[in-house]
Structure formats: structure tokens, C-alpha cells
Amino acid sequence: MRRLALAAVALAAGVVLAQERAIPPGELKSGSAFLGSDLRALQNDDFANPGMLWVERGEKLWSEPVGKKTLACASCHKDQSMRGVAASYPKIDKASGNLVNLEGRINLCRTGRMGAEPLRYESEELLALTAYLARQSLGAPTAARIDGAARAHFEAGRASYHLRRGQMNLSCAHCHDAQWGKRLLSETISQGHPNAYPAYRMEWQTMGSLERRLRACLSGIRAEMLPYGSQEYLDIELYLAWRAQGLPIETPGVRR
Amino acid sequence: MAARIQIPREARRGEVIEVRILIQHPMETGYRHDDVGHLIRRNVINVLSCRYNGVEVFRADLSSGISANPYVQFYTVAEASGDLEFTWIDDEGERGSERQSIVVKG
């Protein structure tokens, strides 16, 4: 009887885990897998990828002194490799206990350590620095942590991801978990992974952050767009990072 | 205006070399309207020229149909060591230039 009960518990746990991951790790596909071969080739071309313009700018900004203390990012992060750093975001900032994404981390450094003004979301400078940082994790597997203080944000992000919204009454999951690989008009629905952001999007004709991409989806389903940097976006970003666990970083991605 | 140029550092005399340039520019078409309905004025790079040791080897008249951050690729013959110099100008009169040198052997 006891053994039976244990088996039942194990089975139930298995079911819960299976439910947690709508797309099994073996079936994860980066957004680039849903592109045409021309855009994929453009992304993989280190020279022609237009996002590299921002990466190059970010490299310059990295060692440019700013703020009251005339410090550059490179003044503190001297010989330190930033490889893999971007792949671990969003993460909990130890000092404040808040969840921060890469953009938030850059601005925390600016306001807290450099005595500089925070950079505006979608500003050329913030996109450039984020792209430069993320580029250094090229190929590194996405590996956000959801334990400890991050757990509550993860749960909130998961709830947001599954929340029906807007006039079309759709959640993220309706397309990106249930219908990926199928056609939506002329486009193939992707799995909705964040591993190539900030990315250069043809529709934008410029570089944009993951939050800009989230807003584009919300606008598409005629739902309310939240302000940049809002807590709900951060939570969703954490859930998306966990969902994409193991997918290699592709920044700067090229997308439709 | 930031730009990236890619040419081989070295080539043999008479060799056909690939030249690539990527320029950061919004290439505003002149057909779009802003949030309050005003037409956004056209601002595209209208002339892009490349001189190889002072001699023009490539020239393009770009227009509204070219996407933002234009990428141009062409071929030329490596004749002598020296510079390839790109210059361009947009509708607002802003000029940009970038150069890259090549060593030609043989």
C-alpha cells in the first residue's frame, strides 16, 4: 500500500514537471530556426549583420568615462571576461533583492557606482551596451536561475505568460506553446524565445530590446502595452529565460 | 554616422576583390507619418561613392526603396597598394566617410 502511494506521488510529480515544460528541452528551437534562409544567413554573417553596428558602438561606450566620477564600465570590469554573464539574466540583484534584466543592471551600475544618469529604454546607448554585453555570451547556453528570491518572480512570470489578454483574448501560450511551427498569415509562429535579444528586426528597421518585442506581441493581440521596465515584463523575461534554458545566445539576432 | 568596411588586407595584383560596406542610417522614406499625422521628411543617403587611390571605382544613387542601415557589396580589381575611400551624403546634407587600406603584392 505504502509503495503504491509513493508510486502515485512520484507519478503526480512527474505529471507536474511535464506540465511545467510545455516544450520538452529536446524540441526547443531558437527563433532563427523559423526564419527564411536569407535572414538566417544575414544573422550569421559577422560583417553584414546590421546589429553589429550596435555591438561596435557598445564596445566604444564600454570604455568611455561618464558621470560625476568619470568612470567607464571598463574602469571596474578591467580584465574580467563578461562571457556568459548575459546568459544568466534576468537575475536577482543582491543589494536590493530586486529582479533585474541586463538593461536594469547597466543602469544600476550607472546610477549606483558611476554617478551617471540612467539610460532610457530603447535609447541607442542602452541598446548598444546591452548588445555588446550579450554578444560576449555568443553561443553560451541560456541559464537563468529560478531558485530562492527569484522563485516568486518566476511564478508571477509564468502566470503572466498564461494570462489571456486583449481584444483577441489570447495568452502567450496560445501561440508559442500550442501553435508554434504553424503559419500565421505569411509567417511561421516561433516558440517565442528571448535568446537573440537585443535583436535587429526588419519590421522596425532597427535594433530593439526584448521588452520592445513583448510590446509588439501585445499590440498584435490588441492588449494593453505596459511601460518599459515594469515588473510584469521583468517577471515574464525570467519565465522566458527559464523556458529557453540551454538555447545558445545569438545576440544580435536578425528577425522579421 | 557609423559605418563598417570589409576588404581583404592583402591581395595579388590583378585579383578581383570583394568590397563590403554597411552604413548606419535611418533611410527615412518620406512616406511615413509621425504620431500626430505630420509627414516625416525624406532623409536617405542619396549618393555613395568609393574611390580607390583617388579614382572612382563605384558609385550608387540610393533612394527611398533602400532599407535602413544600407549594406552594399561590389567587386573591384586590386591594382596597387593604397586606400579605398568611401564618401556618402544624405538629403539633409550630412556627409560621412570611411577609409580602409589594402596591400597589393606582385
Apex A194 CA angle, A191 and A196, nearest 5? 110
Phi-psi category of B82—alpha, beta or left, where left has phi over 0 and alpha has psi -120 to 50?
Answer: left
Q: What is the pLDDT of residues B10-50, one digit of tens each?
A: 999 999 999 999 999 999 999 999 999 999 999 999 999 99
Structural domain including A235 reads 25-255
Rounded Cα distance, B46 and B61, in Å: 5
The sign of the torsion formed by the CA atoms of A113, A118, A119, A122 equals positive
Mark whether A175 is an active-site residue.
no
Q: Which CATH number belongs to the domain containing residue B64 in this structure?
A: 2.60.40.10
Q: What is the pLDDT of residues A105-114, one digit of tens each?
A: 999 999 999 9
Q: Which CATH number belongs to the domain containing residue A147 in this structure?
A: 1.10.760.10
Mean pLDDT of all residues in A165-181: 97
CB atoms within 10 A of CB A102: 26
Q: How far is A39 from chain B (nearest CA, A)?
A: 14
The ipTM (two decimal places) reads 0.90
Residue A3, domain member (yes or no): no
Q: Are B25 and B69 in contact (CB under 8 A)?
A: yes
Residue A237, domain member (yes or no): yes
- Residue A79: per-residue pLDDT: 76
Residue A97, domain member (yes or no): yes
Structural domain including B50 reads 3-105
Quick check: B20 and A48 CB within 8 A?
yes
Query: Which of A43, A47, A60, A61 to mutate: most B Cβ within 10 Å?
Result: A47
Distance of CA A24 to the CA centre of its chain: 19
Q: What is the pLDDT of residues B63-105, one digit of tens each?
A: 999 999 999 999 999 999 999 999 999 999 999 999 999 999 9
Residue A104 in this model has a pLDDT that exceeds 80? yes
Count of structural domains, chain A: 1
- Residue A5: per-residue pLDDT: 56
Supply the Cα-derived Rg of chain B in whole angstroms.
Answer: 16
Q: Using a CB-CB distance cutoff of 8 angstroms, which residues of chain B are in contact with residue A206?
A: 26, 68-69
Residue A8, domain member (yes or no): no
Residue A11, domain member (yes or no): no
Dihedral angle computed from the Cα positions of residues A15, A17, A18 and A21, in that order, rounded to the nearest 10 degrees: 150
Which residue on chain A is closest to B73 by alpha carbon? A48
Residue A13, domain member (yes or no): no
Residue A2 in this model has a pLDDT that exceeds 70? no
Quick check: A52 and B4 CB within 8 A?
yes
Strand partners, B58: B50
SS3 A191: coil
Count of structural domains, chain B: 1
Does A57 touch chain B if contact means CB atoms closer than 8 Å?
yes
Residue A9, domain member (yes or no): no
Residue A195, domain member (yes or no): yes
